[in-house]
Amino acid sequence: MYIKSIVLDGFKSYGNRVEVSGFDPEFNAITGLNGTGKSNILDSICFVLGITNLSNVRAGSLQELIYKHGQAGITKATVSITFDNRDKTQCPIGYENHNEITVTRQVVMGGKNKYLINGINVQNKRVSDLFCSVQLNVNNPHFLIMQGRITKVLNMKPPEILSMVEEAAGTRMYEAKKQAAQKTIEKKDAKLRELNDIIQEDIAPKLQKLQEERAQFQEYQKVVRELTALTRLNAAYRYVKAEESAAASAARVAEVTQEIDQKRQEIASKKDESKQIDQQVKEINKRLDEESGNTLKQLESELTALESAETAAAAARRGAAEARGARPGAAASSSTRCKSTSRPADTRTASCRPYVYRVSTIWKVREKSGKL
| Per-residue pLDDT reduced to its tens digit, 302-322 | 888 888 888 888 888 888 888
Q: What per-residue confidence (pLDDT) applies to 328?
A: 47
Contact 103/115 with Cβ under 8 angstroms? yes
Q: What per-residue confidence (pLDDT) applies to 334?
A: 42
Q: What per-residue confidence (pLDDT) applies to 355?
A: 47
CA distance 75 to 63: 9
CA distance 183 to 119: 42
Q: What per-residue confidence (pLDDT) applies to 173?
A: 58
Amino acid residing at 142: H
51: CB partners within 8 A, 6+ apart: 57, 138, 139
3-state helix, strand, coil in the chain (%, to 5): 65, 10, 20
- Long-range residue pairs from 34-40, CB within 8 A, at least 24 positions apart, any chain: 37/12, 37/13, 40/8, 40/11, 40/12, 40/13, 40/14
Q: What per-residue confidence (pLDDT) applies to 188?
A: 93
Amino acid residing at 335: S
For residue 66, how many C-alpha atoms fall within 13 Å in the half-sphere facing its CB?
Answer: 20
Coil, helix or strand at residue 80? strand
**Stretches in the chain below the pLDDT threshold 70:** 141-142, 146-148, 168-174, 325-372
Q: What per-residue confidence (pLDDT) applies to 221?
A: 94
